[in-house]
Structure 1
Amino acid sequence: MQENQSSFTRPSMAALLTGLLDDVRTLIRQEYQLLKDEIATELGELKAAIVAFLAGLFLLTASALLFLLAVVHLLHEVAGLPLWASYGIFALLLLGGGLVALKIGSGTARTFNLVPTRTIHSLKEDTQWIKQQMRWSRT
């Protein structure tokens, strides 16, 4: 029975602390990588949304201008309105449509969260784990 006790040796406090520090270093590297990946993903989504929003805004503006010209001249011919009145009517309509489009775009932009929530949550879990390991190494 003494042979079993002598073959089982408890690791030294220095070995435990060295192991714990190695684990903490690894954990910090992993958390840093998670942070970088999460921010890159969010920025990629933001970039795609901005490009789509600007392309849509450009195309809507161009089509609205062409439509405006066509309808203004149609009103001028059919209703006998002066060109200035026809332009004014459609300018107000386009202003209303543009305001609606900007409101929709700003609502979409509010959904982006540049705070790395998964990383923060993971760091909190890691802190708890480290505290538990420190308590364990003291006993």
Structure 2
Amino acid sequence: MPADARSPRSRPGAPPPESPQEEPSLGQLVSEVTSDVQQLFRKELELAKAELRQEVAKTGKAAGMLGGAGFAGFMVAVLASLAAVFGLDAVMPLGWAALVIAAAWAAAGAVLYVLGRKRLRSVSPVPERTVETLKEDAQWARHPTK
């Protein structure tokens, strides 16, 4: 048999030989999918870290406000109480004057506490956007053709 007869190109109607670069192998496809999934999870982790940083910053600001309110309230209570107690001493006994002033500052402290607690409740410890995108990724992984 001549060498030309064995070659698929020389036969009329025979398809041209496939080059190995036309279609990737199963191993290459699995490697690409694995790489894409790893990259996806890295991005999701970066998103979660960014969201947590935002929430930690909000928590820190709220805690700072509560601490500042506590310190300011303490200083005001001490100094204003002394002034008010001595002012009320002209009208009532010194002990009763001190008790009235202490009750007024307790009410102010309660208001500051309620406002600070309200701010802390607005902080979300769960990275909601990341959770949502992870759910979408999981659904895509289950049904990649949809």
Q: TM-score, normalised by structure 1?
A: 0.82
Distance 2:115 2:137 in 1: 39
Q: Is the 8 A contact 1:24 1:130 kept in 2?
A: no
Give the counterpart letter for 1:24 in structure 2. Answer: V
RMSD, matched Cα? 2.3
Describe the SS at the equivalent of 1:38.
Answer: helix
The residue aligned with 2:100 is 89
SS of equivalent to 1:66: helix
Contact residue 53 and residue 105 of structure 1 kept, 8 A: yes
Which structure features the higher share of helix residues?
Answer: 1
Identity %: 29
Match of 1:104 in 2: 115
- Secondary structure, counterpart of 2:89 in structure 1: helix
RCO greater where, 1 or 2, for CA within 8 Å and sep 6 or more?
1
* Aligned amino acid, residue 103 of structure 1: V
Q: Aligned pair 1:59/2:72, yes or no?
A: yes
In structure 2, C-alpha distance between the alignment counterparts of 1:53 and 1:91, rounded to whole Å = 20
The runs of 5 or more residues in structure 2 that have no matched partner are: 1-12
Tell me, what secondary structure is at the counterpart of 1:104?
helix
- TM-score calculated relative to the size of structure 2: 0.79
Question: Aligned with 2:124: secondary structure?
Answer: coil
Deviation of 1:11 (Å): 2.8
Tell me the matched-pair count. 132
1:20 and 2:72 matched: no
1:70 to 70, 77, 83: 83
Higher alpha-carbon Rg: 2
Q: CA deviation at 1:6?
A: 4.8
Distance 1:99 1:45 in 2: 22
Counterpart-to-counterpart distance in 2, 1:115 and 1:72: 48
Amino acid paired to 1:48: K
